[in-house]
Amino acid sequence: MSRRKRYLTALVVLALLTNFTTTVRATGLLTPTKVDYAIVVSNSTLNDDKWKAVVDTLVAKHDGQVVTFREDVEQAHSRLQELFPRYTCFVATPDEATADFVRIVHQLTRRLDEDPYTDTMWSILTGHTAENALSIARHDSPLVVRKVASGTEVALEMCEQGLWYDELVKYKKVEKQKDGKPQQRDGPADTTKALADTLTDYKADLFVTSGHADERSWTIGFSYRNGKFLSKAGKMYGEDTRGKRFEINSSNPKVYLPIGNCSMGHIDSSDAMALAWMNSCGVKQMIGYVVPTWFGYGGWGCLDYFVEQPGRYTLVEAFHANHHALIHNLLSAKDTRGLTYDRDVVAVYGDPKWEARMAAAPRAYEQTLVVEDGVYIFTIKPNRGADSFKPINTNGSQRGWRPIVHFLPHRIKSVKVTDCAELDPTITDDFILVPNPRECDPKREYKVVFRASKIKANGE
């Protein structure tokens, strides 16, 4: 029996046209998952006792298996291909976690089999120091995001509580209290201290930013003069328009989405902003571009999955769902130049298996997967009538119309689609993707039914 897989789009269309049950077998490697969690680390980093403690913590925490490489992380490819782990954590020192490292990790994790999608939930665990990285590795308590703070517009109606200051309109602030509705209020002309206070006093669980930035600064105002956040030696500080400087220290665990910032994820020295966020601002997971932003799909789309589908995805799942969506669009020859630009340049940092989710709230549509006796029934239920599949919020770039992505509870093979309701699904060994239907008929049944075999430890 074949141990390979492939995505289904072409064969599903054929099934619809000829009205027969389609059997899908692989073109991509379907090595059975031998471990749930792999830790990839260079020999030199593993030989450093302080960084070895980070690896040992992850091994104990997740029953992980260590994969080492000598000089280039690409050298871990063949072993990862053998293990085919559900999660992969790349432990790297700041000197190793370069833009090239991020690019290679993207590429090698898409080549564990022959289909074009990422094959393992990965992230990079680093820190300003080994001690900082160890604190992230040790952190185990799941995070429920109840308070959101942002320097750009976010969909507060999907959040339990939060506030944002407008980077485009001076004095504009929008706030939502728990059990209330978003209300526009007057904010300060310079929001530097106000945003810092959302980290230190308000204790936001999620911080979101956009606008001008580089490896060592975030310029808060986009269309008007405002202050800055700056970093040096693993510390974050603010500097307002009057030149007043103040330190920013925030210890509560949080996640960070700099969805539109240039180079916020680029670790080019010990002064990098990403390291300061993790070291002095309590950030346990974050994404970030390692290059200047342009197209925006890889960053802004994380809001579509994480914030605007509250509670459905962890932050790492949202990142990967958005990346699957990006690859799917590339295969459809849509905006290929921009999508190719974004494909390998957004990093995700932290422990990939640590869970941070938005507090659950009513969503625009529900999606459920029922598995019984080898039959998989994936159902999408519209909750907002004709508007169910429309964008929730359009602030930013490349917003809305994301495909519907559902991660499978285990890896599968030998798929037979029996009913796809013309939804044109893509099904891989670990997720199903349905293109956004765009037009919603609330009376229609949105359902994909398929048979598949669970991959066992011996590959059968």
The residues, any chain, with a CB within 8 Å of residue 99's CB and separated by 6 or more, are: 266, 268, 290, 291, 345
Per-residue pLDDT band for 35 (boundaries 50, 70, 90) equals confident
pLDDT of residue 368: 98
Is 26 a residue whose pLDDT tops 60? no
The larger pLDDT score, comparing residue 48 to residue 2, is at 48
Q: How far is CA 361 from CA 145, 181, 243, in A?
A: 11, 13, 41
Q: Count Cβ atoms below 10 Å from residue 48 Cβ, excluding itself.
A: 15
pLDDT of residue 7: 37
Is 8 a residue whose pLDDT tops 80? no
**CB-CB contact of 266 with 124 (8 Å):** no
Output DSSP code: residue 303: H
The identity of residue 388, as a single letter, is S
The tens digit of pLDDT for each residue in 41-85 reads 999 999 999 999 999 999 999 999 999 999 999 999 999 999 999
Q: What is the mean pLDDT of the chain?
A: 92
Phi-psi group of 171: left, alpha or beta (phi > 0 → left; psi -120 to 50 → alpha; rest → beta): left
d(CA 76, CA 109): 10
Q: What domains, with CATH codes, occur in the chain?
A: 4-28+364-454 (no CATH), 33-138 (3.40.50.10330), 143-358 (3.40.50)
d(CA 299, CA 323): 10
Residue in the block written with tokens 């046209």:
17
Is 247 a residue whose pLDDT tops 90? yes
Residue in the block written with tokens 């995805």:
313
Output DSSP code: residue 86: S
* C-alpha angle 42-323-403 in degrees, rounded to nearest 5: 160
Output DSSP code: residue 220: -
The larger pLDDT score, comparing residue 300 to residue 31, is at 300
pLDDT of residue 455: 87
Is 95 a residue whose pLDDT tops 60? yes
3-state secondary structure of 266: coil
Per-residue pLDDT band for 335 (boundaries 50, 70, 90) equals confident
d(CA 256, CA 328): 26
What is the chain's percent helix, strand, coil content, to nearest 5? 25, 30, 45
pLDDT of residue 60: 98
Is 206 a residue whose pLDDT tops 80? yes
The tens digit of pLDDT for each residue in 361-402 reads 999 999 999 999 999 999 999 999 999 999 999 999 999 999
Burial class (CB in 10 A: 0-12, 13-18, 19+), 75: middle
